[in-house]
Structure 1
Amino acid sequence: MTLSEIEHQYDFTYPALYRQLERDGMLDVGEYGPDWYKLVYPTLTDRPTLLLHADDFELLNIEAVADAVDTLLDADDYRKIDPAFRFIPFAQTGAGDHYCFFVSGQHDGEMPIVLLWHDQNEAQYLAKNLHDFLFHMLLNSMADQDTYNEVSDEEFRDQLAKTLGTHARYLSSEQAQILQTLLSRDIIDYDVLLPKGRKEAHRGLLTDIELASLREGMIPYEKFDSCFAYSTAG
């Protein structure tokens, strides 16, 4: 299976950036299986593939993309997706939600990126195109060190530096410079304020407030974080 075959089969065209990522080997994550993390992952860490170290992001290989599209189009699928909506998954979360190109949401040549929730009737807008999504995800990675899995400060910086090494070419020079500047910062501990006066401890190179400000300034998108129902069933 190739990207061209997927395009032909589902009658759409991938963004030029996605095609470039494929040509550059940035989508080559191998075959997932029980030993992927032990055998394949170590071979990718020096030159990280697309968002290899991003939180809760698992890139789908091309065969998995075709399987995922077929499942979403299946009339018997439990999600009962409205045929008016066309989604092409390219990655998933650990819980099985899909990061998708929202084909039927294309506007002025821009194909939005949405997160298709598997356990609720909602698709969430993340970026107006793949280019902006990439910058958005890299900012998120810099703001959130994986303390749950005890990633050390040194590992955190090393992962980000190597990621920037393979991803900078797909960003604007201004975006790449912003990330490079953030990388030279001291790591900080900060609290994210939650509803009802609660707060959550985080650690990273920028706070959630700084992240939101950079996102709004660099990749403004009026639909960001808004959701729509993808099924009319029930």
Structure 2
Amino acid sequence: MTIQEIETKHGFEFPLLYKQLEADGMLNIGEYGPNWYAEVYPTLKDNPPLLLHSYDFESLNLKSVAEEIEELRDPDNYRNIKSEFKFIPFAKSGGGDHYCFFLNEEDNGEVPIVFVWHDMNEVNYLAKNLQDFIFKVLLIDMSQQDVYNELSDEEFRSDLESVFKSHKRYLSTRQRFILEDILKREIIDYEINVSPKIKESARGLLTDVELESIVNDVIPFDKMNQSFKYSND
């Protein structure tokens, strides 16, 4: 299945950046399965395809994209997504939620990125286009070392540097400079204020507060973090 075949079948066009990623082999993640992490992942980690090391993000190859489009548009699908909503999935979470292009709100070739939940009737806006989404996810990755799985400081920094190396050509000059600067920093421990009474320990190259400030300044989006329902159920 090619990008052109998917576009022709469903009557839309992927964003130009997504087509560039595909042409550059950035969507080649192999076939997910029980042996993927042991056999495929080691061949990808030094020149990572799309957001390979990002938390709860599994890029889809084109065959899977085609299958997931059919699934979301199936009138018998359990989500009962309204027919007027045009979601084009390009990645999934580990739990089965979808990262999608939201074609309904394309503006001059810019297509918003949304997160479509599988187990609740909700869609969250993430970024106004794919470039901003990639930048935002890389920032989040830099702020959140995976201490739960005991990722060492060396592995954390190595993964960030390898992803930045393979992704920087797809970012704006300003976005590139910001990430380059952050990558030079020392790793810090900080606390996230989850609520007035609850704090969580975190570790990374920047705090959640600085992260939010950079996102608001560099990739402003009036619908960032807003949500809507995808069905009448």
Output the TM-score relative to the length of structure 1: 0.98
Percent identity, please: 54
Partner-residue secondary structure (3-state), 2:203: strand
- Give 2:10's aligned amino acid: Y
User: Which residue of structure 1 lines up, in the alignment, with residue 59 of structure 2?
Assistant: 59
Q: Could you tell me which residue of structure 2 aligns to residue 137 of structure 1?
A: 137
Q: Does 1:186 align with 2:186?
A: yes
Cα offset, 1:107, TM superposition = 2.3
Q: Distance between the aligned counterparts of 2:72 and 2:164, measured in 1?
A: 33
Q: Distance in 2 between matches of 1:2 and 1:76?
A: 26
| Alpha-carbon distance in structure 1 between the residues aligned to 2:69 and 2:141 | 27
In structure 1, the partner of 2:91 is: 91
Please give the alpha-carbon distance, in whole angstroms, between the structure 2 residues aligned to 1:72 and 1:222: 26
| 2:99 counterpart SS class | strand
Matched residue, 1:225: 225
Corresponding residue SS for 2:220: coil
Q: CA RMSD in A?
A: 0.8
The corresponding residue for 2:160 is 160
Secondary structure of the corresponding residue to residue 190 of structure 1:
strand
CA–CA distance in structure 2, aligned partners of residues 40 and 220 of structure 1: 36
Residue 222 of structure 1 aligns to a residue whose secondary structure is coil
- What is the SS of the residue equivalent to 2:84? coil
Please say if residues 88 and 101 of structure 2, whose CA atoms lie closer than 8 Å, have aligned partners that are also in contact. yes
Q: Deviations over 1:160-196 (max 9, x none)?
A: 1111110110011111111111011110111111124
Runs of 4+ that moved beyond 2 A? none
User: How many residue pairs are counted as aligned between the two chains?
Assistant: 233
Pair 1:33-2:36 in alignment:
no
User: 1:90 Cα shift?
Assistant: 0.4
- Secondary structure at 1:101's aligned position in 2? strand
**Does residue 231 of structure 2 align to residue 216 of structure 1?**
no
CA distance in 1, matches of 2:75, 2:19: 30
Match of 2:75 in 1: 75
Structure 2: runs of 5+ lacking an equivalent: none
Distance in 2 (CA, whole Å) between partners of 1:144 and 1:8 is: 40
Output the CA distance in 2 between the equivalents of 1:105 and 1:229.
15
Amino acid at match of 2:144: D
Q: Deviations over 1:41-96 (max 9, x none)?
A: 00001101110001100001111111111111111111000011000000000111
CA distance in 2, matches of 1:117, 1:145: 25
The alignment status of 1:19 with 2:51, answered yes or no, reads: no
The one-character-per-residue Cα deviations of 1:103-127 (angstroms, maximum 9, x if unpaired) are: 1121233110000000111110000
Question: What amino acid sits opposite 1:21 in the alignment?
Answer: L
User: How far apart in 2 are the matches of 1:165 and 1:63?
Assistant: 26
Q: Is the 8 A contact 2:15 2:109 kept in 1?
A: no
Query: 5+ residue gaps in structure 1?
Result: none
